Amino acid sequence: MLSINTASAGNFERILLATDGSEYSEGAVRVAMELAQRHNARLLILSIAVCNPEYASLVPDLEEIATDKAQANVQKIVEQAEGIDFEVVVKLAEDPYQGIVDAAIEQHASIIVMGRRGRRGLARVMVGDSTAKVVGHAPCAVLVVPKVTHLWNKNILLATDGSIHSKAATLLATAVAKEKNYPLTVVSAVVASHSTERRREAEVIVQKIKESLSGSNIKVSCIVEEGRPEQVIIDNARKSGADLIVMGTHGRTGVERILLGSVSERVIGQAECPVLLIKAD
């Protein structure tokens, strides 16, 4: 991700809120506004005017109709943004996810905030195709927000497997925790087939994170647990009362395979709280 240094420091200076005007964006709108207020940040309210160039050449005013619809999608949000430094961004694109990614690059976004669909059906249905693709291709951290949630203010859960992407997530999670000394729960999952050495590595990983925060006022809990990684993460988020999950994602390669079955996509689809994802450069 292009803005990993900014994001990993917790500097959310330019927040890109991607909305389609549907009910699934409600939580994202609320959290993006709260995040902008907390960080005194610029809120970029983005709506994609979806338009196929092939059809546009055949149907008069198609681009104008798509743009008007996108403008209407952001109007209610604008009415709620009193006291927030905001800017409306309407972008024409054939595919919503590509429009969001391109806008994030053009606007130098520190983070993309977007909604998630309901919790029924397959992971792909729950997460939404555009959301999964944005996570995989975004140039910055992505915060995926369920409909009925608020900005975190209790406990942060960091999911780690020791990969380079998890190291980026560790930097980000510790920066967020340090904002207000939020308790941090560090979770690493192992499966039945893992060797004794791999299990020991998991213990070392979480303990090193705890030791790195020994000089701070942050309370750190370390958990290494056997089970399906996504279920271990979801269960411990619930047990610890976490209202934010932070994790690394392998991104683009997984997205090309549609991410179905990936840990990050399943966590996004099942989590009861926002999930903050980041890739390493």
Helices 96-106 & 129-137 angle (0-180, nearest 10): 30
What pLDDT does 88 receive?
95
CATH 3.40.50.620, domain 4-145, yes or no: yes
Which CATH number applies to 156-278?
A: 3.40.50.620
3-state secondary structure 91-154: EEECCHHHHHHHHHHHCCCCEEEEECCCCCCCHHHHHCHHHHHHHHHCCCEEEEECCCCCCCCC
What per-residue confidence (pLDDT) applies to 266?
87
Tokens 């942060």 sit at which residue?
156
Cβ-count burial of 60 within 10 angstroms (0-12 exposed, 13-18 middle, 19+ buried)?
Answer: exposed
User: What pLDDT is attached to residue 106?
Assistant: 96
pLDDT on residue 59: 62
Other beta carbons within 10 Å of 227:
14
Task: Output the six-digit token pair for 60.
Answer: 């008069």
What was the pLDDT predicted at 90?
A: 92
Element (H, E) at 221: strand 220-226
pTM, rounded to two decimals: 0.88
- Block means of pLDDT (10 residues each) for the chain, length 281 residues? 48 92 90 95 93 62 82 88 93 90 96 76 52 87 93 96 89 94 96 90 95 92 95 97 92 41 82 92 66
Is residue 112 within 8 Å of residue 16, measured between CB atoms?
A: yes
CA 137/CA 253 separation, integer angstroms: 9
Cα→Cα distances 184→54, 130, 151, 209, 220, Å: 50, 30, 16, 10, 5
Residue 4's pLDDT is 44
- Residues 123, 128: Cα–Cα separation, whole Å: 8
Asked if residues 165 and 202 have their Cβ atoms less than 8 Å apart, the reply is: no
Q: What was the pLDDT predicted at 54?
A: 59
Per-residue pLDDT, 11: 77
Q: What is the pLDDT of residue 76?
A: 84
CATH topology agreement for domains 4-145 and 156-278: yes
Domain boundaries, the chain: 4-145, 156-278
pLDDT for 3 equals: 40
Q: Which residues contact 164 (CB under 8 A, 6 or more apart)?
A: 248, 280
